[in-house]
Amino acid sequence: MARLLSYALALEQNISANWIISRRADLLWFIGGALAGYALFFMHAGLGWDMVTIWFLWVVLLDSPHFFGTISRTYLDKQEFQQRKKLLTWSLLWFAAGPFTILLSWGLFELGIANYLLPWKAFLVFFGLWAYWHVVRQHYGFMRLYQRKNGEFNPIDYRIDSALLYGGLLLPFVAFVVRHPEARRGLGLPETLPDYPPLPHGSRWAALTDVHYLRAVAWEHWVVALTAAAVGTLAVIFLTRQLVKLRRGEKINLPKVLFMLAVVPLHVYVCYSPAVLTAPLLAFGAFVTIFHDIQYHAIVWFHHRNRYHRPGVDQRQFGLAPKISRNLLTYFGCAIFFAAVFRILGCTFDVHPGCVPFVITSEVPLFGGLHTDALLKAFLIGFPLHHYFVDQYIWKPSKSKELQRDLKLT
């Protein structure tokens, strides 16, 4: 017993535990938020609930409101808007990106080109990939915050952590894309994933050395196997690095380790699960994004309290932002109202699922095989695209002393 107590005390001395907000808040929102992803996935895989309805509630109550978080700290912050006026003005052109691709498709259609929908389809693929990359980049940002808060500047840790973060989120996504029926259709592949060939002599071990069997395995299965092996290797390297640091008496960055244990297994579990193949593609977006949404709302609220409501601050210099964030109810009320207008507009005009459409725009021809719902969808996609673009510039503490102060990094 005494030896165990001695070991526990020694371990405690080798742990660094500096949090972004506080231990309770970080564990609840920045790390524990991953549980929401598992909960949504269980609604589909375990309970068999209608994921279209769940998706609609998610985008109205959590996902689209986090776009408002960006708006509240940029366009509604008078000081921030003046400092970033060029960025915030020109970034609005993202609302024209979708309609422009439809215009290109119309031009190809008028020229009689058979594959006239290529610009529009490419735009939708680009949007989906950027949406996932946006989630990955935010998780990377939180990893970096935990490194900075705990004074972890060793290049070895940075490389290993980055490799696990990027590899653990991007490689499972590749495996998901080559397996999911909707994603395969979007890539021009058959919806049904090829079956594995019969095992030689009924043995899995024999299959590993059977050249004919290995050649008969479809390339999609090789992608799944190789990505899984790569993620497993990166995880072993990461854990080994922590053990090496312990043996050397170096500090273990506990918040970062817990964060990595939260985010990487979530993406691995969802992307490789057989049950995800029966979920709509939009439901997958909810599974892997709800953690991101929870993190974002928490960090925005933390930022707002420090920037607009710290003792002695002159709120008049910030415009509407302090009024919007004067309390949690007001902030979320405004955020959900913004999301409801945005999403219900799309829903009632037959662009988004989740409610009874007021106008069936999918039956009103635009040109060729496109209908007017595509044009409305192209414009509404501008909201997330604008969010992705602006966000990559406004959350860089290394380039802003004000942001360092507002996130209490100094």
Q: What is the pLDDT of residues 134-150, one digit of tens each?
A: 999 999 999 999 999 99
CA distance 129 to 121: 12
Widest CA span in the chain: 83
- pLDDT at residue number 167: 98
Q: Which of 74, 173, 186 lies closest to 133, judged by CA?
A: 173
Does residue 146 share a domain with residue 286? Answer: yes
**Which DSSP category does 408 fall into?**
T
CA–chain centroid gap for 223, Å, is 22
Give whole-number Cα distances, 19 to 33, 146, 297, in Å: 15, 7, 17
Percent of the chain exceeding pLDDT 70 equals 95
Q: What is the DSSP string of 226-255?
A: HHHHHHHHHHHHHHHHHHHHHHTTPPEEHH
196 & 303 share domain: no
350 shares a domain with 384: yes
Residue 382: both structure tokens together: 């501008």
In a shared domain, residues 366 and 305 = yes
pLDDT of residue 6: 54
Q: Are residues 26 and 132 in the same domain?
A: yes
235-257 pLDDT per residue, tens: 999 999 999 999 999 999 999 99
- Of 235, 252, 269, the position where a domain reaches its end is 252
On whether the pTM is more than 0.85, the answer is: yes
Among 278, 42, 64, which Cα is nearest to 176's? Answer: 278
Tokens representing 198?
């019969």
> What average pLDDT does the chain have?
92
Determine phi and psi for 223, rounding to 5 degrees: -60, -45
pLDDT digits (tens, 9 = 90+) for 85-103: 999 999 999 999 999 999 9
pLDDT confidence tier of residue 202, bands split at 50, 70 and 90: low
Residue 233 CB contacts under 8 Å (≥ 6 apart), including other chains: none
**Residues 390 and 360 reside in one and the same domain:** yes
Residues 141 and 161 in one domain: no
pLDDT for the residue 164 = 98
Is 176 contained in some domain? yes
pLDDT tens-digit profile of 151-167?
A: 999 999 999 999 999 99
| Residues β-bridged to residue 365 | 371
Establish if 257 belongs to a structural domain. Answer: no
Domain count within the chain: 2
**Contact yes or no for 259/161 (Cβ under 8 A):** no
The pairing of strands 15-16 and 365-367 is: unpaired
Residue 272 included in any domain: no
Give the span between the Cα atoms of 210 and 175, in whole angstroms.
24
Q: Which ranges of 111-218 would DSSP assign to H, the alpha helix?
A: 118-149, 155-179, 181-186, 204-207, 211-216
Number of neighbours of residue 14 by Cβ within 10 angstroms? 15
Judgement on whether residues 132 and 24 belong to the same structural domain of the protein: yes
**Domain region containing 163:** 153-252
What pLDDT is recorded for position 186?
84
Q: Is residue 8 part of a domain?
A: no
Output phi, psi for 322, to 5 deg: -65, -35
In a domain, 203, yes or no: yes
Tokens of 322: 């302090």
User: How far apart are the C-alpha atoms of 407 and 353, rounded to whole Å?
Assistant: 37
CB contact at 8 A, 227 and 171? yes
Whether residue 291 is found in the same domain as residue 364: yes
Domain assignment present for 115: yes
Whether 89 and 191 map to the same domain: the answer is no
- Identify the pLDDT of residue 330: 96
Nearest to 260, CA basis, from 175, 167, 130, 133: 167
77: β partners: 319
Rg, the chain, Cα only = 24
- Note whether residue 102 is domain-resident: yes
**Exposed/middle/buried for 12, CB within 10 Å: 0-12, 13-18, 19+?**
exposed
Residue 363 falls within a domain, yes or no? yes
Cβ contact 386:342 at 8 Å: no
CA atoms 258, 260, 263, 269: torsion sign: negative
Strands (DSSP E) contained in 11-158 are 15-16
User: Residues 48, 125: one domain?
Assistant: yes
211 pLDDT band, cuts 50/70/90, is confident
pLDDT-derived band of residue 222, with 50, 70 and 90 as boundaries?
Answer: very high
Separation of alpha carbons 168 and 227, rounded Å: 9
pLDDT band at 198 (very low <50, low <70, confident <90, very high): confident
Choosing from 252, 273, 294, the residue where a domain stops is 252
Answer whether 104's CB lies under 8 Å from 89's CB.
no
Among 24-38, 178-192, 311-325, 347-361, which is the least confidently predicted range? 347-361
Does 140 lie in the same domain as 100?
Answer: yes
Percent of the chain with pLDDT over 90: 79
What phi and psi, each to the nearest 5 degrees, are found at residue 15?
-115, 130
Q: Which amino acid is at 202?
A: G
Last residue in a domain, options 252, 272, 293: 252
Q: Are 404 and 397 in contact (CB under 8 A)?
A: yes
Instruction: Give the angle subtended at the CA of 107 by the CAs of 105 and 110, to the nearest 5°.
Output: 110
